[in-house]
Structure 1
Amino acid sequence: MSDNRIVRAIKEKSKSMEAEMSFFDHIEELRWHLVRSAFAIIIITIGVFAFYDEIFDGVIMGPSKPTFWTYRMMCELGAWLNRPGMCVDKINVKLINTEMAGQFTLQINSSLLIGVTLGFPYLLWELWRFIKPALHEKERKAASGFVFYATFLFALGVMFGYFVISPMSIKFLSGYTVSDTIQNLFTIDSYISSVATLTLATGAVFELPILIYILANLGILTAKIMRSTRRYAIVIILIIAAIVTPTPDMLTMTVVSIPLFVLYEVGILVAAVVEKRKLKRAQELDL
């Protein structure tokens, strides 16, 4: 009897050791996926750092110039609507640096930020490679377009934040004054953090359909719940649009809120598709 107990104890110990080894193997594999992602981001960051002059003048400072694409389109739209006041002739953005190493750290930090943004698709791909082996064949097929759709929505959100929200916010805030005795002088850190926050936050918000897809698969969210709470969602979207765009006019708020409404409706369709797939799987199992 004692020999059997010893054998069972050894077998249980070996199973627990195998489980621990498997766990640490997964951690090691995840570490290498993250290392490769970090390496790719560093390479992109170095490239951005090397061509920083062109990127700084053309991309980072773009929304602060009247020649920016958005302002030119606004002027053309104003001419079409017979509203010449929509043209932007001047933007009062005067930037200063208040620290000794401010411009050097600015170049490093902004290069890294752009590197992370451009390297985001590769990071998603590495994470997908890590998760994929743990999924069943049907789950792999259902989530096969995850990297593409997540990247597409993020890029779409970044472009919307950069070309729409950022220039409108800069135009309003740079010209807003409480008194003529106060001169607007912005630190370069304040300017870049504002543009980066508005741009990346919009990119994150545009991932809403992906989040809904995950929650629907977990059974936490359904299309029925989203339809029943649509009126509350509209109020929340309008509040988000008001926060993201500090401009007081309804036109800007409407321009920002419309894509959010569209994303919410797309989310309802995504949740409905997930529910149909889950119902079909349940019927197949019953058969």
Structure 2
Amino acid sequence: MPLGDHLRELRKRLMLACAGILVGAIGGWFLYDPVLHLLQAPVAELRERGVNATLNFSQVAASFDIKLRVAAFLGLLASCPWWIYQLWAFLAPGLKRNERRWAVVVIAAGVPLFAGGVYMAWIALPNTFLLLTQFVPDGETSSALIDVTTYLKFVMQFLLIFGVAFILPLILVLLNFLGMVKGITWLKGWRWAVIIIVVLAALATPTADAVTFIMMSLPIVALYFAAVGICMLNDRRVAKKLRAAADSADVDSTH
């Protein structure tokens, strides 16, 4: 396919992905109140600890801005299967039939992995938030006025980074199944991979505390080694298939 056709196809898929996110955001607009209440759960836990913690709408348009942010965030989450499919639809024309079959399996796994990353982040969020605010003194004389824009940016970034990070090992598997990189190559580079994951997790973490980025990096490291294991098994399967084909060719040549 010519470069111009590739660019037009890419533009088409990006537009369709954005349209799906927009539709999800429209639905998220009407779910704003219950979702905002849910996102405030860590603040409620802080109040249960005896700290006078409240979300502060410090700007005139803050409430409208927050509603837009939450709606867009929900649209991105809800349309996850759609925009992952658009990625697949862009890649599919350049793949062979067997490559397409494996790519479908790999990309389809991206949906539960993304959801699993977001869910894990949601479980870790209350403890992370309490850890970061544990030095606020208890009692009526102390108050924690938390800017709502900063707080929700922290929460949404925290959830999305976990979700995207859980998808990254799929790239390793996809490249291997397409025959571009051997599993042994990923295995030999495991030390650099761990270092890169830890560094990127530290840079991507919304806060500067070590606990949060360790909680983020460990599952990704585990997924990396799981991906390497899948690649190694696939390489063994391909090598066995090639040996069988070679043996069959030798038998045919002797007759």
TM-score category, normalised to shorter length: 0.7 to 0.9
The alpha-carbon deviation at position 45 of structure 1 amounts to: 0.7
1:167 maps to amino acid? P
Larger Rg: 1
Give yes or no for the alignment of 1:56 onto 2:36.
yes
In 1, distance between residues paired with 2:174 and 2:197? Answer: 21
Unaligned runs of 5+ in 1: 1-18, 68-87
1:152 maps to amino acid? P
Q: Is the 8 A contact 1:41 1:116 kept in 2?
A: yes
In 2, distance between residues paired with 1:52 and 1:219? Answer: 45
Q: Is the 8 A contact 2:52 2:142 kept in 1?
A: no
Unaligned runs of 5+ in 2: 250-255
1:168-221 deviation per Cα after TM superposition (whole angstroms, max 9, x unaligned): 22112223359x998532211110111111111111111132121144357775
- Output the TM-score relative to the length of structure 2: 0.77
For 1:175, the equivalent position in structure 2 comes to 134
Which one of the candidate residues 5, 18, 23 is aligned to 1:43?
23
In 2, distance between residues paired with 1:192 and 1:275? Answer: 44
Q: Is the 8 A contact 2:25 2:71 kept in 1?
A: yes
Query: Relative to 1, partners in 2 of residues 1:56 and 1:207: Cα closer, same or farther, differing over 3 Å?
Result: same
Which one of the candidate residues 255, 265, 273 is aligned to 2:233?
273
1:172 maps to amino acid? L
Q: Is the 8 A contact 1:158 1:199 kept in 2?
A: yes
Q: 2:104 is paired with a residue of what secondary structure?
A: coil
The alpha-carbon deviation at position 254 of structure 1 amounts to: 6.9
- Output the TM-score relative to the length of structure 1: 0.69
Overall identity of the aligned pairs, in % = 24
Q: 2:144 is paired with a residue of what secondary structure?
A: coil
Alignment of 1:1-287 (within 5 A): 23-58=3-38, 60-66=39-45, 89-90=49-50, 93-164=53-124, 166-177=125-136, 184-217=144-177, 222-230=182-190, 244=205, 258-280=218-240, 283=243, 287=249
The alpha-carbon deviation at position 231 of structure 1 amounts to: 5.2
Q: 1:144 is paired with a residue of what secondary structure?
A: helix
Q: Which has the higher contact order (CA 8 A, sep 6+)?
A: 2
Q: 1:100 is paired with a residue of what secondary structure?
A: coil
1:56 maps to amino acid? L
Q: 1:185 is paired with a residue of what secondary structure?
A: strand
In 2, distance between residues paired with 1:90 and 1:173? Answer: 16
Q: 1:175 is paired with a residue of what secondary structure?
A: coil
2:227 maps to amino acid? G
Query: Relative to 1, partners in 2 of residues 1:280 and 1:134: Cα closer, same or farther, differing over 3 Å?
Result: farther
Query: Relative to 1, partners in 2 of residues 1:240 and 1:39: Cα closer, same or farther, differing over 3 Å?
Result: closer
Tell me whether 197-206 or 29-38 shows the greater mean CA deviation. 29-38
Query: Relative to 1, partners in 2 of residues 1:241 and 1:37: Cα closer, same or farther, differing over 3 Å?
Result: closer
Query: Relative to 1, partners in 2 of residues 1:90 and 1:264: Cα closer, same or farther, differing over 3 Å?
Result: farther
Aligned residues: 242
